[in-house]
Amino acid sequence: MSYEAPALEMRVITKSFAGNSVLAGVSLCVAAGEVHALVGENGAGKSTLMKVLAGVHQPDAGEILIEGRPVRFTRPADALAHGVAMIYQELSLAPHLTVAENIFLGREPLRFRALGVVDRREMNERARQLLSDYGFRLDPRARVGRLSAADRQLVEITRATVEARRCVVMDEPTSSLTAHEAEELFRLIRDLKRRGLAVIYISHRLEDLDAIADRITILRDGREVYEGAWGEISHGEIIRHMAGRELKEIFPPRAAFKGEALLRVENLTRAGKFEDITFDVRAGEVVGLAGLAGAGRTELVEAVFGAQPAEGGEVYLNGARLGAPSPGRAVRLGLGLLTEDRKRTGLCLNQALSKNLTLANVRVLVKGWRLRRGRERTAARDYIERLHIRPPDPEKTVGRLSGGNQQKVLLGRWLFADSRVFLLDEPTRGVDVAARAEIYRAVNKLAEGGAAVVMVSSDLPELLGMADRILIMRRGRLVAELDAKRTTQEEVLRHAALEEGEGAEKVMVDSYV
Amino acid sequence: MSDWIKRFLPFASLIALCVVIAALEPKFLSSGNLAGVARQTAVITIIAMGMTVVMVAGGIDLSVGSVMALAGVVGAFAMTNGAPVLEGIAAAVAAGAACGLANGVTIAALRIPPFIVTLGAMGVYRGVALLITDGKAVVGLPQSFGYLAEGNLFGLVPVPLLLVVLVALATHFLLSSTRAGRYCYAIGSNVEAARYAGVRVSRYQIMFYVFLGALAGLAGAIESARLVTGQPTAGEGYELRVIAAVVIGGGSLSGGQGSVVGTIIGSLIMGVLSNGANLLGISSFTQQIVIGAVIVLAVTFDEFQRRRLETAAG
Amino acid sequence: MSDWIKRFLPFASLIALCVVIAALEPKFLSSGNLAGVARQTAVITIIAMGMTVVMVAGGIDLSVGSVMALAGVVGAFAMTNGAPVLEGIAAAVAAGAACGLANGVTIAALRIPPFIVTLGAMGVYRGVALLITDGKAVVGLPQSFGYLAEGNLFGLVPVPLLLVVLVALATHFLLSSTRAGRYCYAIGSNVEAARYAGVRVSRYQIMFYVFLGALAGLAGAIESARLVTGQPTAGEGYELRVIAAVVIGGGSLSGGQGSVVGTIIGSLIMGVLSNGANLLGISSFTQQIVIGAVIVLAVTFDEFQRRRLETAAG
Amino acid sequence: FVAAPACNRKAGGGRRTIAVIPKGVSHFFWQSVHAGAEAAGRESNVEIVWKGPAQETDYAGQTNIVEDAISRRVDGIVLAPTHKDALVPVVERAAREGIPVTIMDSGIGTENYVSYVATDNRQGGANAAERLAQRLGGKGRVAILGVKAGSVSTDQREEGFRETIKAKYPDIEVVAFQYGESDRARSLDRATDILTAHPDLDGFFASNESSTVGAVQAIKQKGLAGKVVLVGFDSSPNLIEDLKAGAIDSLVLQNPYKMGYEAVKAMVAKLDGQTPPRTIDTGVKLLTKENLETPEMQQLLKAP
Ligand SMILES: Nc1ncnc2c1ncn2[C@@H]1O[C@H](COP(=O)(O)OP(=O)(O)OP(=O)(O)O)[C@@H](O)[C@H]1O
Ligand SMILES: Nc1ncnc2c1ncn2[C@@H]1O[C@H](COP(=O)(O)OP(=O)(O)OP(=O)(O)O)[C@@H](O)[C@H]1O
Ligand SMILES: [Mg+2]
Ligand SMILES: [Mg+2]
């Protein structure tokens, strides 16, 4: 076989921000038609490396070669011009534009070239065609700002794949997706492969990578520590390379204990979103909430928390009715909601880590009128250590943390708040395996301490490993309740996806078996 | 049907306002008065068209009043030095565009907030206008120049109204149908997203400021034509009125929102209110109270209508 | 060391400015002149402290100039009706706080942009001030009232300077060391995130507008004392100067950013510039150009220093 | 040789400096005052520092300018106070610091000044009322286009006008009053609206230059030139044209050049140790088409 230059090569890239080294000489080589997995702990530098490739950041040293020829990307437009497109981890869409406008942003089909008139009909038509080809159920004319996180991720995927001619980088593209939609994505990736594109895929879900990856590069602390074919290395070894240590068990055992019903939801209804939802959660219990994207789980927990209105039904906390619900009231009564969308409803991105971490419970830091900043820092250090937040700097602006570390800060906020009832919506989105184990331990500790936990997750192994009971929602209704210890992923998925008069065969489950 | 209501909706409070005023003072509806309102609001509306574009893209320009004065003076000088009227107008537009270019380039190059750059520019352009005229109005302009402000096309349509319509159509076309318009909303909505998508953000930002500057220049020519003098002190405080027109019309200080129709309505609400109050002979003290209160009410009214419609339709 | 530089940095351009002016005109440094600068900037600085809080929380208030006038007039009326000076001042502060409360409640209840609400309020309060005084200044205030503006503590420290320092310390404490301060930055940075974290957003927003209103009231009392008259037309155009002070000091129109120290520097840069230009006898036309240009330069300078420091040290 | 004046208060040993602080800088009126002041300065070999606030009602800004003049230690201050009471403290401070102050144009509520050089504004308003009443034959409907709330000298003109009408001409009705905000375009808008609301208007009084410009422009645009009798205040080349063309009936003229000249002269006299007169009235004249060509009026108009 004659030597052929790889589609894309990055050579000894180094990059530092404000004197902190993030990438210390990383090389990466991807062939055409190959899916290259890029893995590493949170903050290892994966996103930064890819942003260098996409022209967002300029490397301090090192070079990029496309088909053997060195190139310089000083802005994203340059990378796009070379056919390199990227799905960003922190979704980067224009909320005021429509789905179609976002998909074609920068490459609008034109009608009168000289005037630069956008051919709207053509654009919508092509967007509709693409979305249906990809199996994404989205209206091209819908405003992106009103879409759920999952749907926005689909838009982002569509945009990048259309734009890519040589290489597409996917930075955790499935973090908001359920298995069903992820499967559509994998099909799409296989198709891109066939068309000879290089795909770089970043994920913390090793099961996903099993389905598509050809090669793997592992980063640790801004260095590459392993490179090889995907099949040559076991999950355990990957985790060891990532974390630099062995991981004993992902789902630690929890002392069985069940007390009073702390949270009781009765007939909660909001037309078109969820209907007639009744369940309760007892002290010491972890209840999982499963469903496909759009099943209404997020709407339900937000309504319980009072962040969204409910049209009927009641929520009882500790037996007392939670009238006129609002987040302020809920928090004071001991309810906490870890939101699904950390950018929109979670973090104050331009504020310091410590301020974000303590926001839901500033009260305990105050003595007299004065806020004890020492206490705040101590608390922040405590959670930074417990959750392995990197870099361990309480004053760091949260928006500058890596995605997974941002998620940990958000979780830390609710661990720090003295809540008794926790509603955790996708608590481990984008979190690496090792840190996930920490989070599970933390959740177990909460339950053992007498808290009630509702865990919404699209990651079924996580639900099965953590929950006592699993409630399943389908199209806004509670359709089943399963004992987590005695059920399987297939059974959960069957309940979640079953259409009236349809068999379970239609459900895509192969990514988990 | 519901689509029809949606199109009609932004007008609701403006129409309500007109009905109330007309009921109290029938002269409000006389064609002479309506033409007068068109003339009185033309300058603000034209600048507000450009401001809509800049604000949709997430920017702001406090220097428009000064640009208007400087451009008006430059155009007037051109005419007193013998240039024909059309060239004088062109000179004003060009001077405005040059100011806009300076603003845009400074904002894009220094990467400091447009608020600061244009705050500084406001002083600089005003100072230059005063300096080159020695603070005096430029007189001796050709009488035919007055046609730009006071003329009627076919003896019927006031020329400034025609200009407003043309500028509005152009701006609407720019914002809603062209690629630059898409980028404008994208930049104001999420500048990072626009950059990631390969949009040359700085280039477009500069273009938008130039567009606004040119329109401020045109407005300067009209304002000069109204009084047939170039005034270095014209347009003081206009920046607030222009920005108010955009915001009343649904624009936002944080970008990504705003429309030509909305801005026109915003400008007309303010113009009609002031005209109505004058016609009704409301004392100038009470007038300020009434206008202030009605602006808040009008926006609230529209906003509530919009919300109701949205929850109703989905 | 690097920490020390960081603390010192925001002053850099202000100090550079003072050095240049002092070199050109040594009288600038005379204690009389510096006290004069303190007096001249006191009113703007005090309102700007409140505006910092409101803008950090993502709001804006265009009505401050009108609130100041109305409060000054109310305080003056109280005194002409026999209230002692301290009660007169208290009346002004209370009137200001009441205006702030009205603004805050309207903004929180109607959920329309603060820009619109306070634009309307600007007209309403100004109109009320003019109406209750019939447009005339309120005279006949006790001479001792002048002490608030013209007095010196221990014959040395101008009273307004003392007030500025007290207000600044209180605001700094509020923003950096209280629960409300934490919430203020959180609300301005991401209002939804703050709400989801259990912050009672409306309540705090209202509180911030009341705080600003009260300070505008205090400023109104000082302005009245300076002139020993209650002026219904006081403070016109102050909103822009106050907002400019906040933005020059690092605040942002989109919230989440800003600090007391920054705002003070912003206000002083503008005050020193204008005083320096007066001392140097720069003509009022040239002065506008110089001040405009130097504002942009000063902010650019500070910004570039900051960026250099960030990439160098971290 | 020209002998240097016997003044050695200044370290530089140079000429005296007099700060002349007008209410505004952009009206023709103030430019004439400036010309008069400069002429007196040249005659007496003193340096004139001309510096005014941005707006005619910006008393806070004007206070700052006076304070800065004190800080600069000028030899004397000539001030046209934007407000009768507002400028009192700073004028008294100047007096305390040994800097004499001459007041011009508008009065001030303190005795601590050298001379008061001004037009009798109330009288000016009264003259305008007399003229308008005479032209209307003692009956009709008139409107006033004022300048700005809180502007003292123009308030006095408007009051003088109203008082005279009320006291002497019961058959004349003032049907509208609006402020032009000291802005020509705004004045034009307001005047247009007044003419729309009152199509049967007989007379118009505008109380300064910007108001007069707005009023005459509105009248011309409505085709009412000569039908609505307009009495204005102050002059500018364009207004003279309109007077000649008959769109303006008459203009109340002050003598701004003389005002600037006399104020500086009085200050120089004071600095030379003399005692200038306590008040100097610079007088008002009514300019009409008939007396336009008289030498007296031409003198007034040519001045700057
Ligand atoms: N703009 C920036 N300024 C300062 N530091 C940054 C910036 N961007 C990234 N970093 C730092 O670089 C490091 C690597 O971040 P990066 O986002 O590349 O991690 P990652 O491997 O993608 O992690 P995750 O799995 O959590 O997404 C982090 O410590 C982060 O704080
Ligand atoms: N594929 C879809 N088909 C129809 N409607 C959808 C679809 N996906 C989302 N939606 C709409 O979007 C709303 C919100 O979806 P969202 O994804 O937030 O719900 P969810 O159950 O919390 O899902 P997840 O948490 O898995 O993302 C749904 O109530 C539904 O109306
Ligand atoms: Mg990442
Ligand atoms: Mg969800």
pLDDT in tens, C185-221: 999 999 999 999 999 999 999 999 999 999 999 999 9
Mean pLDDT of chain D: 89
Domain of A236? Answer: 8-243
Distance between B262 CA and the closest CA of chain A, angstroms: 16
pLDDT of residue C143: 86
Domain assignment present for C134: yes
Domain assignment present for B41: yes
Q: What residue type is assigned to position B12 of the chain?
A: A
Distance between D263 CA and the closest CA of chain B, angstroms: 22
Residue C251 · residue C258 · CB < 8 Å: yes
Say whether residue C200 is in contact with chain A using an 8 A CB cutoff.
Answer: yes
Task: Name the 3-class secondary structure at A343.
Answer: helix
Q: Whose CA is nearest to atom 7 of ligand 1?
A: A400
pLDDT of residue C7: 64
Q: How far is the CA of A40 from the centre of ligand 1 (A)?
A: 12
Under 8 Å CB-to-CB from D259, ≥6 apart: which residues?
Answer: D33, D36, D104, D105, D117, D118, D119, D282
CB contact under 8 Å between D55 and C236, yes or no, is yes
Question: Is A125 in the same domain as A190?
Answer: yes
Model confidence at A508, pLDDT cuts 50, 70, 90, reads very low
Which letter, b or e, does each residue of A336-360 get, where b requires 16 or more Cβ atoms within 10 Å of its Cβ?
bbbbbbbbbbbbbbbbbbbbbbbbb
Q: Mean of the pLDDT values across residues A39-59?
A: 95
Query: Of C36, C226, C234, which is closest to D71 when you measure between CB atoms?
Result: C36
Say whether residue A455 is in contact with chain C using an 8 A CB cutoff.
Answer: no
Q: How far is the CA of B272 from the centre of ligand 4 (A)?
A: 48
Backbone angles phi, psi at A5, to 5 degrees: -65, 140
Task: Name the 3-class secondary structure at A390.
Answer: coil
Backbone angles phi, psi at D287, to 5 degrees: -95, 125
**d(C-alpha D269, C-alpha D277), whole Å:** 10
pLDDT of residue C84: 95
pLDDT of residue A505: 40
Distance between C270 CA and the closest CA of chain B, angstroms: 11
Say whether residue A328 is in contact with chain B using an 8 A CB cutoff.
Answer: no
Domain assignment present for A27: yes
Task: Name the 3-class secondary structure at A9.
Answer: strand
Domain assignment present for B161: yes
The 10s digit of each residue's pLDDT in A93-103 is 999 999 999 99
Scanning every residue of chain A, which has its alpha carbon at the shortest distance from the alpha carbon of C187? A348
Relative orientation angle of helices B159-177 and B260-279, to the nearest 10 degrees = 150
CB contact under 8 Å between A81 and B198, yes or no, is yes
Nearest atom in ligand 2 to A150's CA:
27
Residues of B in contact with A102 (CB under 8 A): 193
Under 8 Å CB-to-CB from B259, ≥6 apart: which residues?
Answer: B52, B175, B249, B250, B251
Name every protein residue with a CB atom under 6 angstroms from any ligand 2 atom: A 137, 148, 150-151, 176, 178, 273, 291, 293-299, 340, 458
Tokens of B1: 């049907």
Please state which of the ranges B104-108, D182-186, D258-262 shows the lowest mean pLDDT.
D182-186
Mean pLDDT of chain B: 92
Scanning every residue of chain B, which has its alpha carbon at the shortest distance from the alpha carbon of C286? B127
**d(C-alpha A353, C-alpha A395), whole Å:** 6
Q: How far is the CA of A143 from the centre of ligand 2 (A)?
A: 15
Domain assignment present for A230: yes
Q: Mean of the pLDDT values across residues A497-513?
A: 45
Q: Mean of the pLDDT values across residues B282-309?
A: 88
Beta strand A335-338 with A421-425 is parallel
Q: Whose CA is nearest to atom 31 of ligand 1?
A: A401
pLDDT of residue C279: 87
> What DSSP character marks residue A234?
-
Domain assignment present for B8: no
The 10s digit of each residue's pLDDT in A317-339 is 988 888 778 999 999 999 999 99
For residue D9, pLDDT over 60 is answered with no
Domain of C266? Answer: 33-302
Counting Cβ atoms within 10 Å, is residue D132 exposed (0-12), middle (13-18) or buried (19+)? buried
Which letter, b or e, does each residue of A194-227 get, where b requires 16 or more Cβ atoms within 10 Å of its Cβ?
eeebbbbbbbbbbebbebbbbbbbbbbbbebebe
Distance between D243 CA and the closest CA of chain C, angstroms: 31
pLDDT of residue D299: 82
Q: How far is the CA of A294 from the centre of ligand 2 (A)?
A: 2
Q: How far is the CA of C25 from the centre of ligand 2 (A)?
A: 69
Domain assignment present for B273: yes
Question: Domain count of chain B?
Answer: 1
Question: Tokens 């969204």 appear where?
Answer: A308
For residue D107, pLDDT over 90 is answered with no
**d(C-alpha D94, C-alpha D73), whole Å:** 10
Question: Domain count of chain A?
Answer: 2
Mean pLDDT of chain A: 90
Quote the longest CA-to-CA distance of chain B. Answer: 62
Percent of chain C with pLDDT over 90: 71
Please state which of the ranges B133-137, C307-311, D73-77, D244-248 shows the lowest mean pLDDT.
C307-311
For residue C2, pLDDT over 70 is answered with no
Identify the residue among C231, C240, C273, C291 best suited for mutation to test binding to D, counting D beta carbons within 10 A and taking the highest: C231
Tokens of A175: 């973090």
Strand positions, DSSP E, B216-307: none
Residue A15 · residue A48 · CB < 8 Å: yes
Q: Mean of the pLDDT values across residues B145-157?
A: 86
Residue D83 · residue D61 · CB < 8 Å: no
CB contacts under 8 A, C 126-155 vs B, are 126-128, 130-131, 134-135
pLDDT of residue A2: 43
Q: Mean of the pLDDT values across residues C84-91?
A: 96
Question: Is A273 in the same domain as A236?
Answer: no
Which letter, b or e, does each residue of C168-189 get, where b requires 16 or more Cβ atoms within 10 Å of its Cβ?
beebbebbebbbbbbbbbbbbb
Beta strand A286-290 with A452-456 is parallel
**d(C-alpha D239, C-alpha D223), whole Å:** 17
Q: How far is the CA of A181 from the centre of ligand 2 (A)?
A: 12
Shortest-distance ligand to the CA of residue A291: 2
pTM as predicted:
0.92
Q: Mean of the pLDDT values across residues D241-261?
A: 94
Name every protein residue with a CB atom under 6 angstroms from any ligand 1 atom: A 17-18, 22, 40, 42-48, 89, 390-391, 400-405, 430, 432
Which chains reach chain A with 3 or more Cβ–Cβ distances below 8 angstroms?
B, C
Residue C313 or residue D90, greater confidence: D90
Domain assignment present for A495: yes
CA distances from C41 to B295, C230, C286 (A): 32, 19, 21
Say whether residue A377 is in contact with chain C using an 8 A CB cutoff.
Answer: no
Model confidence at A459, pLDDT cuts 50, 70, 90, reads confident
Residue A289 · residue A453 · CB < 8 Å: no
pLDDT of residue A166: 93
Q: Whose CA is nearest to atom 30 of ligand 1?
A: A401
DSSP string, D97-143: TT--EEEESS--S-S--S-EEE--HHHHHHHHHHHHHHHHTT-EEEE
Q: Mean of the pLDDT values across residues A413-438?
A: 91
Domain assignment present for A256: no
CB atoms within 10 A of CB A500: 6
DSSP string, A279-305: EEEETT-EEEEE--TTSSHHHHHHHHH
Question: Is A88 in the same domain as A168?
Answer: yes
Residue B302 or residue B285, greater confidence: B285
Question: Is A238 in the same domain as A286?
Answer: no
Q: Whose CA is nearest to atom 17 of ligand 2?
A: A294
For ligand 4, a single-atom ion, the residues with CB < 5 A are A 298, 340
Residue A462 · residue A484 · CB < 8 Å: no
CA distances from A386 to A390, A403, D193 (A): 11, 17, 72
| Ramachandran sector of residue C153 (left: φ over 0; alpha: ψ -120 to 50; beta: rest) | beta
Question: Is A270 in the same domain as A135?
Answer: no
pLDDT of residue A501: 44
Question: Is A37 in the same domain as A160?
Answer: yes
For residue A504, pLDDT over 90 is answered with no
Tokens of A343: 């950018």
Domain assignment present for A365: no
Distance between D217 CA and the closest CA of chain B, angstroms: 7
Task: Name the 3-class secondary structure at D46.
Answer: strand
Residues of D in contact with C229 (CB under 8 A): 83, 85-86
pLDDT of residue C1: 45
Question: Is A192 in the same domain as A75?
Answer: yes
- Cα-based torsion angle of the residue sequence B117, B120, B121, B123 in order, rounded to the nearest 10 degrees: 170
Tokens of A393: 């700097």
The 10s digit of each residue's pLDDT in A55-95 is 999 999 999 999 999 999 999 999 999 999 999 998 789 99
**d(C-alpha A174, C-alpha A433), whole Å:** 15
Strand positions, DSSP E, chain D: 16-21, 46-50, 76-79, 101-104, 116-118, 140-146, 172-179, 203-206, 229-233, 250-253, 279-281, 285-288
Say whether residue C89 is in contact with chain A using an 8 A CB cutoff.
Answer: no
Question: Is A24 in the same domain as A108?
Answer: yes
Residues of C in contact with D148 (CB under 8 A): 233
**d(C-alpha C178, C-alpha A365), whole Å:** 9
The 10s digit of each residue's pLDDT in A99-126 is 999 999 999 999 988 888 999 999 999 9
Counting Cβ atoms within 10 Å, is residue A501 exposed (0-12), middle (13-18) or buried (19+)? exposed
pLDDT of residue C137: 87
Question: Which range, A238-247, A288-297, A365-374, B213-222, has the best average confidence (pLDDT)?
Answer: B213-222
- Cα-based torsion angle of the residue sequence A121, A124, A128, A133 in order, rounded to the nearest 10 degrees: 90
Question: Is A295 in the same domain as A186?
Answer: no
Residue A491 · residue A468 · CB < 8 Å: no
pLDDT of residue C302: 83
**d(C-alpha B217, C-alpha B212), whole Å:** 9
Domain assignment present for B1: no
Beta strand D250-253 with D203-206 is unpaired
CB contacts under 8 A, B 79-108 vs C, are 106
Is the alpha carbon torsion for A385, A386, A388, A393 positive or negative? Answer: negative
Distance between D286 CA and the closest CA of chain B, angstroms: 24
Query: Of C193, C256, C312, which is closest to A345 when you measure between CB atoms?
Result: C193
Residue A46 · residue A38 · CB < 8 Å: yes
Say whether residue A353 is in contact with chain C using an 8 A CB cutoff.
Answer: no
Q: Mean of the pLDDT values across residues C67-78?
A: 97
- Cα-based torsion angle of the residue sequence A3, A4, A8, A14 in order, rounded to the nearest 10 degrees: 20
Question: Which spans in C134-231 are helix H?
Answer: 147-150, 159-177, 179-189, 191-196, 201-227
The 10s digit of each residue's pLDDT in C284-303 is 789 899 999 999 999 898 88
Q: What residue type is assigned to position A238 of the chain?
A: I
Q: Whose CA is nearest to atom 6 of ligand 2?
A: A294
Quote the longest CA-to-CA distance of chain A. Answer: 77
Q: Mean of the pLDDT values across residues A291-303?
A: 90
ipTM, two decimals, is 0.91
Identify the residue among B169, B195, B196, B252 best suited for mutation to test binding to A, counting A beta carbons within 10 A and taking the highest: B196
**d(C-alpha A354, C-alpha B257), whole Å:** 33
Beta strand A421-425 with A452-456 is parallel
Q: What is the CATH number of the domain that holds B178?
A: 1.10.3470
Residues of A in contact with B180 (CB under 8 A): 116
Q: What is the CATH number of the domain that holds A127?
A: 3.40.50.300
CB contacts under 8 A, B 96-115 vs A, are none
Residues of D in contact with B150 (CB under 8 A): 221
Percent of chain B with pLDDT over 90: 80
**d(C-alpha A479, C-alpha A460), whole Å:** 17
The 10s digit of each residue's pLDDT in A205-220 is 888 899 999 999 999 9
pLDDT of residue B304: 83
Query: Of A19, A345, A346, which is closest to C313 when you measure between CB atoms?
Result: A19
Q: How far is the CA of A107 from the centre of ligand 3 (A)?
A: 26
Question: Starting from the edge strand earliest in sequence, which strands make up the sheet with A320-321, in order?
Answer: A274-282, A261-270, A312-317, A320-321
pLDDT of residue D136: 96
Nearest atom in ligand 2 to A296's CA:
21
Is the alpha carbon torsion for D58, D59, D61, D66 positive or negative? Answer: positive
Under 8 Å CB-to-CB from A263, ≥6 apart: which residues?
Answer: A280, A281, A304, A315, A316, A317, A335, A421, A452, A454
Domain assignment present for C144: yes
Residue A404 · residue A432 · CB < 8 Å: yes
CB atoms within 10 A of CB B115: 23
Distance between B274 CA and the closest CA of chain D, angstroms: 9
**d(C-alpha D142, C-alpha D148), whole Å:** 19
Cα-trace Rg, chain D = 20
Mean pLDDT of chain C: 92
Specify the DSSP element, H or E, that contains A168.
strand A167-171
For ligand 3, a single-atom ion, the residues with CB < 5 A are A 47, 89, 402-403
